[in-house]
Amino acid sequence: MREKGLSEDTLFSFLLSKKKEDIDHAHILSSMCTIPHPVAVRAHLQFMETNLGDPGLFPGTTSLERLLVERLGALFSLPSACGYATSGGTESNIQALRMARQLAGVERPNVVIPESAHFSFQKACDILCLEMRTVALDSGFRMDPQSARELIDRNTCCMVGIAGTTEYGVVDPISELSGIAKDLGVFFHVDAAFGGMVLPFLKHSPVFDFSLPGVSSLAVDPHKMGMSTIPAGVLLVRERESLCSLSVDTPYLTVKQEFTLSGTRPGASAVGALAVLEFLGMEGMRDIVAGCMKNTYRLIDGMETYGISRAVIPDVNVATFGPARIPPPWKVSWTRRGHLRLVCMPHVHAGVVESFLKDIGEHNA
């Protein structure tokens, strides 16, 4: 560390020069995050110093976290849902599996997870010493319910379904999986980290939420399609007891117990997430999601006119394709199966899509 500090001018021009090395969002087609909505930024700045990890010191901020949980619970058909603001899908998924393991209380627990699951489940299984049983996908890259049923045994503490897969943007057959979970009495976690902020705003979308009686918990990330500041995830549970199974004593805080994974937790981004929901309402979210879906379909059509075929018709705003040459400066990604993957986030507006298609046309003629 420096003996004598820098002047503010020098410091900030150094920081700005580094920020300029980052990729301009106008060329990012690979990310599930986006430029935060201005109201999220404003709320974030207003709540910078708040710590949800010590709720007695921040009762106002804590009540806003409760309101965020209530709003999302209602959006997912369970206004009485319990939950809390996490750092994102990874933490929510780890905590869901931790709850399921705790509740099952079996000696050698396993979890049944689709092949398409986000790599956060690998981390969760590693940390929690869970055997990960992978379910094959069907031709549309969705989890096969029959194979899932066959992999479940008495040591299965959790089954996972994905509502909006990271790579192909499809929704697993959550309704059928919920039926299996109910039949076999297995905890069922739905990872809607991405799709949770898309599917409720579409005219026609598969059912994936707490309206299905087998769904035990659900992860949703406002810092993805919810346009919140980072980090903002939310874990929701049907039964409060599930969360309580994770409680530890916190003797020196203003509360005596906590069930969260992190201790210190930012109020700023949780309030940012709530601010977007309150500001846009259903109407505003429907408009944004409709725009993203329109751009996704335009991208698919445009690519197909160049002979670059789609891999699947997605349920959310993720488009995947066969091989293509991608010129700089575009930032795209590739799935484990080798498909080109593009995510039409709100910053990927119609002009960006057209300019990308023009470049693709020139490089793939």
Based on the shown chain and the rule CB under 6 A, indicate whether residue 226 belongs to the binding site for ligand PLP.
no
Q: For residue 207, give the nearest of 78, 294, 116, 319 by alpha carbon.
A: 78
Give, for 318, the enclosing helix (H) or strand (E): strand 318-321
Answer yes or no: are the C-beta atoms of 254 and 57 closer than 8 Å.
yes
Identity of the residue, 58 or 121, whose beta carbon is nearer to ligand PLP in the bound complex? 121
At residue 319, the 3 state secondary structure works out as: strand
Q: Does 120 bind ligand PLP (CB under 6 A)?
A: yes
Cβ closer to ligand PLP: 182 or 331? 331
Q: Least CB distance from residue 2 to ligand PLP, whole Å?
A: 33
Interface with ligand PLP by CB under 6 A: which range of 87-95, 127-135, 237-245, 333-341? 87-95
DSSP state of 142: -
* Residue 316 or 360 with smaller CB distance to ligand PLP: 316
Single-letter residue type at 291: G
Q: How far is the CB of 271 from ligand PLP (least distance, A)?
A: 18
Nearer to ligand PLP, 39 or 193 (CB): 193
Mask for 191-220, x = binds ligand PLP (CB under 6 A) = x-xx--------------------------
Pick the binder of ligand PLP from 172, 221, 258, 315 (CB under 6 A).
221
Q: Which stretch binds ligand PLP (CB under 6 A): 75-83, 123-131, 178-186, 189-197?
A: 189-197
CA-CA distance, 178 to 304, in Å (whole number)? 36
Task: Give the Cβ contact number of residue 325 at 10 Å.
Answer: 12
What is the spatial distance between Cα 289 and Cα 81, in angstroms, rounded to a whole number? 24
Q: Please identify which residue in 39, 111, 162, 280 interacts with ligand PLP, judged by CB under 6 A.
A: 162
Using CA atoms in the order 233, 238, 243, 244, what is the torsion angle rounded to 10 degrees?
150
Structural contact between residues 196 and 219, judged by C-beta atoms closer than 8 angstroms? yes
Q: Is 118 in the site for ligand PLP (CB under 6 A)?
A: yes
